[in-house]
Amino acid sequence: MGHEHVQEANNKNLKRVMVALVLTGAFMVVEIVGGIISGSLALLADAGHMLTDTMALALAAMAFHVSKRPPDGRLTFGYQRFQILAAFVNGLSLLAIVGWILVEAVNRFINPNEILAETMLVVAAAGLIVNLVSFAVLHTGDRENLNIRGAALHVAGDLLGSVAAIVAAIVILYTGWLLIDPILSVAVAALILKSAWSLVKRSAHILLEGAPEWLNTRTMQDRIVAGVPGVGEIHHVHIWGLTPQQLMLTMHMSLADGTNGQADIVRKVKAFLRDEYGIGHATIEVDVDGCSDH
């Protein structure tokens, strides 16, 4: 993926995150007040989630802004990886929210408190509308971008929280059963937990310089040898990504006996990697008289 295309995509993603940030931050205050007045854990849990969402969206916006900086003498690959770091932090904050909701839910099971269902219902319904708009804005962004995905997961968690609060308010309003509030809060926490763990796992894999999960390195090497005439043997292969969209590779390659035109073969291998695997930055060392690293 070209640098200009990446920057254009990042600019669009930044605008989407800023819209969601303004909506979420503004309604967060309303939901905190509504949760305190009504006494609803479902609302307070959603309000606490929206607080971290506001910080998460701000972090995501900052990541897109920072990633536009060009490479320099200290960060020669540039600042694209900051997006992955932001996604990792957002995933960890989601896990912390899940823990807080579970602790509060246990306390509410032991000591149920009175809840103003009417107030809870009005605030939750308004929150649902805000979260639907924010999620729609983010969902139209780059779905392979982990920074956008992390921001969207935060808002999706809020969306689920609003739905749970509406259901809890209706049940309490018509039956008076207070335990529905912590029960639905735990259900929302379980849904958030699955997505949060996936986000942390994927972003950590990239931060640890892991190869793309969909790519089989051995198969790729065999395809290069079979598909590019003149290639002998390939080894010392390392594949990683600054982001899931910006893959990089280094490897050693020997030439088949009697092969000439080293530079032309290297160009063909780079073109193969770019066209077949989307690897836009490949550094290839051609071994002459054996591997220089042995």
pLDDT in tens, 193-221: 887 888 899 899 999 999 998 899 999 99
Query: Does the pTM exceed 0.85?
Result: no
Q: Tell me: pLDDT of 52 over 80.
A: no
Q: Which two tokens stand for residue 220?
A: 């790729």
Q: What is the mean pLDDT of residues 14-24?
A: 84
Q: How confident is the model at residue 1 (pLDDT cuts 50, 70, 90)?
A: very low
Which of residues 173 and 27 earns the better pLDDT score? Answer: 173
Contact assessment for residue 283 and residue 249, using Cβ atoms and an 8 Å cutoff: yes
Model confidence at 4: pLDDT above 70 = no
Written as one string, the DSSP assignment of 81-110 is HHHHHHHHHHHHHHHHHHHHHHHHHHHHHH
Task: Output 34 or 266, whichever has higher pLDDT.
Answer: 266
- Per-residue H/E/C for 4-22: HHHHHHHHHHHHHHHHHHH
Residue 266 banded pLDDT, cuts 50, 70, 90: very high
Point out the least confidently predicted range of 14-23, 45-54, 207-216.
45-54
| Kind of pairing between the strands at 246-255 and 279-286 | parallel
Q: Does the structure show a pLDDT above 60 at 3?
A: no
What is 106-136 written as a DSSP string? HHHHHS-----HHHHHHHHHHHHHHHHHHHH
Q: What is the dihedral of CA 263, 269, 270, 275, to 10 degrees?
A: 150
Highest mean pLDDT among 18-22, 69-73, 183-187, 275-279: 275-279
Note the pLDDT of residue 250: 95
Cα–Cα distance list, 110 to 36, 102, 113, 124, 250 (Å): 19, 13, 10, 24, 58
User: Would you list the domain boundaries of the chain?
Assistant: 3-207, 217-286
Share of the chain above pLDDT 90, in %: 21
Question: Do 3-207 and 217-286 have matching folds?
Answer: no
d(CA 290, CA 195) in angstroms, rounded, equals 47
**CB crowding 133-142: b at 16 or more within 10 Å, else e:** ebbebbeebb
With a CB cutoff of 8 Å and minimum separation 6, the contacts of 232 are 225, 253, 254, 255, 256, 257, 259
Max mean pLDDT range (268-272, 285-289, 290-294): 268-272
Residue (of 153, 233, 166) closest to 200 by Cα position: 153
Identify the bridge partners of residue 243 per DSSP, sorted by sequence position: 246
- CATH fold of 3-207 reads Alpha-lytic protease prodomain-like (1.20.1510)
Dihedral sign for Cα atoms in the order 152, 154, 158, 164: positive
Is residue 64 over pLDDT 60?
Answer: yes
Spatial neighbors of 201 by CB under 8 A, at least 6 apart, are none
pLDDT in tens, 225-254: 999 999 989 999 999 998 888 899 999 999
* Averaged pLDDT of the chain: 83
Residue 188 in tokens:
């929302």
Give the CA-trace dihedral at 59, 70, 267, 240, to 10 degrees: -30
> If pLDDT is split at 50, 70 and 90, which confidence band does 37 have?
confident
Identify whether the C-beta of residue 122 lies closer than 8 Å to the C-beta of residue 181.
no
CATH 3.30.300.20 holds for 217-286: yes
> Of 2-6, 21-25, 49-53, 161-165, where does mean pLDDT reach its minimum?
2-6
Helix, strand, or coil (residue 156): helix
